[in-house]
Amino acid sequence: MQAIQRALEAGGIHFESGAHSLSGITYDPRIREADTYIPILRLLDDAADGFMKTADLIKALEMVMDPRGEDAEILAGRSDTKFSQIVRNVISHRTTSSNLIGMGHVEYDKLKRGLRITTSGRWALVDAEKNEKTVL
């Protein structure tokens, strides 16, 4: 039971209990790195030259994704939120094959400190939007 509870809590479900019973369940979904991929591709596709600085991308994603709860909290000893760190992880996890950069959908420009969409990324965006339409 404890393992199930921990797994559910890791997914954003919180159990609120009273003196001797469960008084409520709340759901606070956390934003995962992969959740940012399509919004990032959309923003880069609309940007001049398909490029955005990381700081500008974070601000734009905050407007699109509206992080709340734990995702909006400032990290201890830092000036950025958990959400901004999730976005920065796209860059720091770039060697992972399941990462947006690792898949070849965006490139990181170290000198300009930002991301640029690739042709592969534009095709991935087309495929994602096509899949959204078929689901609806």
At 21 the pLDDT is: 62
* Inter-residue contact 100 to 34 (CB < 8 Å): no
Taking the C-alpha atoms of residue 97 and residue 94, their distance in angstroms, rounded to an integer, is: 8
Which two tokens mark 40? 């990032």
* pLDDT value, residue 7: 75
CATH among 1.10.10, 3.40.1000, 3.40.50, 1.10.3470 for 33-135: 1.10.10
The Cα angle at residue 98 between residues 97 and 104, in degrees rounded to 5:
65
Whether the model pTM is above 0.75: yes
* Burial classification of residue 135, based on how many CB atoms lie within 10 Å of its CB (0-12 exposed, 13-18 middle, 19 or more buried): exposed
How far is residue 91's CA from residue 132's CA, in Å, rounded to a whole number? 26
- Please state the domain extents for the chain: 1-30, 33-135
For the chain, 136 residues long, give each residue's pLDDT as a single digit of tens: 888 877 777 666 777 776 666 667 776 678 999 999 999 999 999 999 999 999 999 999 999 999 988 888 898 888 889 999 999 999 999 999 999 999 999 999 999 999 999 999 999 999 988 887 654 3
